[in-house]
Amino acid sequence: MLSSIHAGRPFLKMHGLGNDFVVVDARTAPFRPSTDAIRFICDRHVGIGGDQLLVIEPPTVEGAHSRMRIYNVDGTEAPTCLNATRCVVWLLLQEGENGSLVLETLGGLIEGLQPAESQIALRLGAPRWNWEAIPLAAACETLFLDLESGPLAKPTAVNVGNPHLVCFVESRDAVDVPRWAPALQNAPLVPEGANIGVAELVAPDRLRLVVWERPGILTQACGSGACAAVLAARRRGLTSEDRITVEMPGGVLEVEVHDDERLVLTGPVAVAFAGYLPLTLPQTVSVKVAG
């Protein structure tokens, strides 16, 4: 009986430090979920649950092994997600690739390698700092933006494939992030929104970070957020270390800084479970509220 109910497409639930994803392989059979289907799949009450839906497709550029599309919980497409990239690189390497491969995302090509059994490292391209590339709505210096929301003031903006604003604070845990971060995320200066990092430098080689991601969720970990925080800390002169451990609620990622701010991001990935999508994906999500 179970198999006749759940005979839809297979998926894998994976995570990198609790930043969790529903992964669908669409390399041989296309998968183009509607906005409502994406919302349903990511919904933790009525669907499967995840911070994002990842769809693996054939590559569109030479040199890439596959292309990964990344959908946020509201159905919008994100240009990059580095924990997702680490999970999908790991998955594709299980198919017998030779220890490394290049994954195509909207945010660019990323090379992934497997330094140890459940670890994936990514070699990233150069970050972008100019205001048009973030993107911001008006010309300005991106190292200290003229924005403030409660204890979150003067963030640094950087695009590491996706846009981040990083705020440095005395104590990460003292900040009520869901209260203050949305005003920065939705500021008119940031027309496409941004992921908001709240970072505390606890030692020259150690940051504590939490990220309020687009479209308004607090995640257990954020790979691109970790990279953005390291780059911002160095550009602001808060540290000059070139190996920095970034501690997030879900665990730690290691960031190495090479020439021209080219980063290598390393951390664990895990498979949580496998399952099947429903045969028919709902077009609208309706959740009954008691009372």
> Judged by CB under 6 A, does residue 81 bind ligand API?
yes
The one catalytic residue in 42, 87, 167, 222 is 222
- Pick from 19, 114, 149, 266 the residue near ligand API by CB under 6 A: 19
Under 8 Å between Cβ of 108 and 137: no
Ligand-binding site membership of 162 (annotated): yes
Q: Which two tokens stand for residue 171?
A: 């104590």
- Residue closer to ligand API by CB (options 72, 149) is 72
Q: Which two tokens stand for residue 270?
A: 């895990």
- Residue closer to ligand API by CB (options 66, 185) is 185
CB of 225 to ligand API, least distance (A): 6
Query: 264 pairs with which residues across the strands?
Result: 123, 256
Q: Tell the residue number behind the tokens 């505390």, with chain if given.
A: 200
* Segment holding 91, helix H or strand E: helix 82-93
The CA–CA distances, whole Å, from 160 to 111, 175, 224, 230 equal: 14, 24, 7, 11
CB of 51 to ligand API, least distance (A): 6
Ligand-binding site membership of 98 (annotated): no
φ, ψ of residue 215 to 5 degrees: the values are: -100, 35
Under 8 Å between Cβ of 233 and 208: no
Active site residue 81: yes
Q: Which residues of 203-223 are buried (b: 16+ CB within 10 A; e: fewer)?
A: eeeebbbbbbbbebbbbbbbb
In angstroms, rounded to a whole number, what is the distance separating the alpha carbons of residues 114 and 203?
A: 28
- Pick from 105, 114, 142, 162 the residue near ligand API by CB under 6 A: 162
The CA–CA distances, whole Å, from 245 to 17, 190, 280 equal: 14, 28, 43
- Residue closer to ligand API by CB (options 42, 78) is 78
> Judged by CB under 6 A, does residue 82 bind ligand API?
yes
- Residue closer to ligand API by CB (options 29, 166) is 166
- Residue closer to ligand API by CB (options 201, 227) is 227
In angstroms, rounded to a whole number, what is the distance separating the alpha carbons of residues 64 and 104?
A: 6
For the window 200-229, what string marks contact with ligand API as x by the rule CB under 6 A? -------------xx----x--xxx-----
> Judged by CB under 6 A, does residue 83 bind ligand API?
yes
Residues in contact with ligand API by CB under 6 A are: 19, 72, 78, 81-83, 162, 195, 213-214, 219, 222-224
Q: Which residues are annotated as a binding site for substrate?
A: 19, 52, 72, 162, 195, 213-214, 223-224
Residues carrying an active site annotation: 81, 222
